[in-house]
Amino acid sequence: MIFITTKAIDTSKVLESVKSKQAGASVLFVGTTRQFTGEKETVQLEYECYEAMAVEKIQQLVDSVQSKWNIEHCSVVHRIGVVGLGESSIAVAVSSGHRQESFEAAAWLVDELKIQVPIWKKEFWADGKTEWVHPSGTPKPTSQDLNSAHGGS
């Protein structure tokens, strides 16, 4: 299950989507809007994405997870639009025969998603200011990108 939605994420459905009798372990990661970053207070976040590319990049990450680890299923759902305090912006679920694979794969997938997938977050601070969050690193082509340049599958 891979999709991008403007609606609230049903995290139990994301977990359910990776269930398998072959799996002894499932790991669900949920990213939520945090109220404080240091001293600064957030009132809400707003996410924007380049949807066609985001879905393809997420699919590539899921494919990489499937090839790097012995896992059963992997699902990724990202919400866009306004995400209020405590609400979920992302849910990643992975199932595998043994737990180590699910933990590693889920953590890796979230790390990579934050580097490679064209989704952007706008902070709405409590002081009324807004700010697009643009980490210092520039998105870099991966070897996969270079191999499949102009591929776009």
Partner 1 sequence: MKIRIKLFAAARELSDTGEIGLEVADGILVKDMKQQISNAYPSMSELILRSAVSLNREFATDQSVVQENDEIALIPPVSGG
93 three-class SS: strand
* Least distance CB 103 / a second copy (angstroms): 5
81: which 2 tokens?
């639009």
In the block, tokens 């393809």 appear at 56
Hey, which residues between 65 and 84 contact a second copy (CB under 8 A)? Answer: none
CB 74 within 8 A of CB 66: yes
Of residues 51, 53, 82, 103, which one binds a second copy by CB under 8 A? 103
Of residues 58, 65, 71, 106, which one binds a second copy by CB under 8 A? 106
1: which 2 tokens?
């299950």
User: Which of a second copy, partner 1, none is residue 21 near (CB under 5 to 8 Å by kind)?
Assistant: a second copy
Instruction: With residue 149 as reference, give the H or E element that holds it.
Output: none
Q: Report the alpha-carbon distance of residue 51 to residue 54 in Å, rounded.
A: 5
Residue 129 within binding range of partner 1, rule CB under 8 A: no
112: which 2 tokens?
């990579």
Name residues whose C-beta falls within 8 Å of residue 35's C-beta, 6 or more positions apart in sequence. Answer: 41, 42, 85, 86
Of residues 38, 129, 138, 143, which one binds partner 1 by CB under 8 A? 138
Hey, which residues between 26 and 45 contact a second copy (CB under 8 A)? Answer: 26-36
Residues interacting with a second copy, by CB under 8 A?
11-12, 15, 19-36, 85-86, 97, 99-100, 102-103, 106-107, 110
Residues interacting with partner 1, by CB under 8 A?
31, 47-50, 52-54, 56-57, 78, 89-90, 110, 113-122, 132-142, 145-146, 148-152
